[in-house]
Amino acid sequence: MSKFGVLVMGPAGAGKSTFCTALIQHLHNNKRPCYYVNLDPAAEDFAFEPDIDIKDLISLEDVMEEMSLGPNGGLIYCFEFLQENLDFLTEPLEQVTEEYLIIFDMPGQIELYTHIPILPDLVKHLMRGSLNINMCAAYLLESTFVIDRPKFFAGTLSAMSAMLMLEMPHVNILSKMDLVKGHVAKRDLKRFLAPDAEHLTDEPSRQLQFEEDKDEKREADPAATKNVMAGESFNRLNKAVAQLIDDFSMVSFLKLDAQDEDSVGAVLSYIDDAIQYHEAQEPREPNDNLDTEIIESAIDR
């Protein structure tokens, strides 16, 4: 029997928990069962009570107090503790059946997605071994942060880093689209949704701004002309990064407005495709009330 899950990731405040809530609401509305797993040991308020909450195993607050760690060190400690106590996840998840979508709500500390092997090990445990969950990563970036070229590069590279590290089907999502709608031309938005090297480096106004910055810095401090962020070298760096993003041709973004159910439904259909959810579902019984109504209304017509 297969199981299906989505790992909702991304930087702090990207809208991960809001997306999880919207997804659960959408699944409820469509009479689809889901299983909500909170893996953020600092999360407090939930619109839907998690079925598994890492805080029942360990809480960030306790770790910070007892181990005298900061929030990031504390989070790593919590995940190492989870790694040593994987039964906490395995035992309840073994009972989850194939109709369920298991939603994992992750914390926002970016180091989890870049260089620490904790998350790949956790993902391996969920995808292989006894659980054998068909998983997809949903990586959220806030749209207001990335519709500016340098921020877009930084955000996209972080998404790519997570993608390469986790080696699992991956859906990138620009969240909070309601905040940029009407403020950004559709044409401009398009090039951030499906980036290619030429579009990303072709931005004369931005270049002008950097040239001006360079002149100002030169007057103040001649050594600043060596700054890699200024002028031609920055331009070349931009081009190289844009080419890298293009070469991978893996980074494109779906739009998400968590308040808009159609938008949530559209993102879910990409996730379903990535994990092949529908292929594994049993055909529904024809005597199911809903199906009977549909058949009756089709006969009436």
Ligand X SMILES: Nc1nc2c(ncn2[C@@H]2O[C@H](COP(=O)(O)OP(=O)(O)OP(=O)(O)O)[C@@H](O)[C@H]2O)c(=O)[nH]1
Contact residues for ligand X, defined by CB under 6 A: 12-18, 40, 107-108, 175-176, 178-179, 257-259
Please, which residue, 23 or 241, has the CB nearer to ligand X? Answer: 23
Please, which residue, 181 or 190, has the CB nearer to ligand X? Answer: 181
Locate 80 and state its tokens.
Answer: 């190492």
Q: How far is the CB of 21 from ligand X (least distance, A)?
A: 8
Please, which residue, 238 or 263, has the CB nearer to ligand X? Answer: 263
Closest residue to ligand X using C-beta atoms: 108
Q: How many CB atoms lie within 10 A of CB 286?
A: 8
Please, which residue, 107 or 195, has the CB nearer to ligand X? Answer: 107
Residues 10-29 that bind Mg ion (CB under 5 A): 16-17
Of the candidates 214, 245, 241, 244, the residue with the CA atom closest to the CA atom of residue 227: 214
Q: How far is the CB of 258 from ligand X (least distance, A)?
A: 4
Spatial distance between the Cα atoms of 56 and 75, rounded to a whole number of angstroms: 15
DSSP bridge partners of 134:
4
Please, which residue, 143 or 201, has the CB nearer to ligand X? Answer: 143
Q: How many CB atoms lie within 10 A of CB 270?
A: 15
Locate 200 and state its tokens.
Answer: 């990303």
Q: How far is the CB of 242 from ligand X (least distance, A)?
A: 27
Q: How far is the CB of 170 from ligand X (least distance, A)?
A: 17
What angle do helix axes 204-220 and 231-248 make, rounded to 10 degrees? 140
Spatial distance between the Cα atoms of 30 and 100, rounded to a whole number of angstroms: 12
- Residue type at position 15: G
Q: How far is the CB of 120 from Mg ion (least distance, A)?
A: 21
Spatial distance between the Cα atoms of 158 and 10, rounded to a whole number of angstroms: 9
Binding site for Mg ion (CB under 5 A): 16-17
